[in-house]
Amino acid sequence: MRSLTWLASAAILAVVVSGCAAWEDASRLPGQRRAIGRLGAGFIDPAAPPAPESTIRPKPGSWDAVRPPRGYRVVLLTAGDDPATMTLVKGVKQWAAAEHVRLEIVAATKPDTHVDGIVAAMERAPDLVICAGTALVDALALVTASHLNQQFLVVGAQLPEPTVNVTAAVWPGASSRGERLLDPKVSFEPELFTRRADAAIRAGVASVLHDITGIVISLD
């Protein structure tokens, strides 16, 4: 862990949400990180697993039976205060509370701290880093390929060329490949966005828990 002084200079705000101030590494027993429940029919074709960087379109609800294991640890990395990003942040918090996930938030408050935010998230050594905010895409593309041991889930956006440790969950109107590639014609509909974000979070985590990573999960 780097010093608190370094974190302050990077203008990163880290907030412990779950009430647990530190990870308990001693609790990480073999097999503890296995998913509870199985993916349903239609998530993927078991006879033809998806290739890296490919896109799958799972059957709605095929991920509903999957839950994270006890003690699952997530860092939510977020950037931006636009309505879409804030909806994603709220959705991850609600999912974590419902599933008893240990959640910590790292907020990269300025564009020049996005890389530092990713580093700060990885330093917490979580089971998964969930990323919310299209502004993070370019920085993620720069950093994640050099840290294949850390799993990332990007919700509502995708990397142009993801590596095996970066999974994306997207839907129509929320599939940007970078901050400069946003579609200005796409309008934000809060209720629809919230429903799709919730499904994307659950489908994405279910995929990661079953080691189906490095792909794009496209939801209708």
User: Which CATH code is given to the segment(s) 31-179+186-218?
Assistant: 3.40.50.2300
pLDDT digits (tens, 9 = 90+) for 149-187: 999 999 999 999 999 999 999 998 787 665 543 444 455
Q: Could you please report the per-residue DSSP string of the chain?
A: ---HHHHHHTTEEEEE-SS--S--GGG--TTTTSPBS-PPTTSS-TTSPPPTT-EE-PPTTTTTT-BPPTT-EEEEEE---SHHHHHHHHHHHHHHHHHT-EEEEEEE-SGGGHHHHHHHHHHT--SEEEEE-GGGHHHHHHHGGG-TTS-EEEESB--SS--TTEEEEEBTTB-BSSGGG--TTPPP-HHHHHHHHHHHHHHHHHHHHTT--SSEEE--
pLDDT digits (tens, 9 = 90+) for 75-98: 999 999 999 999 999 999 999 999
Model confidence pTM above 0.85: no
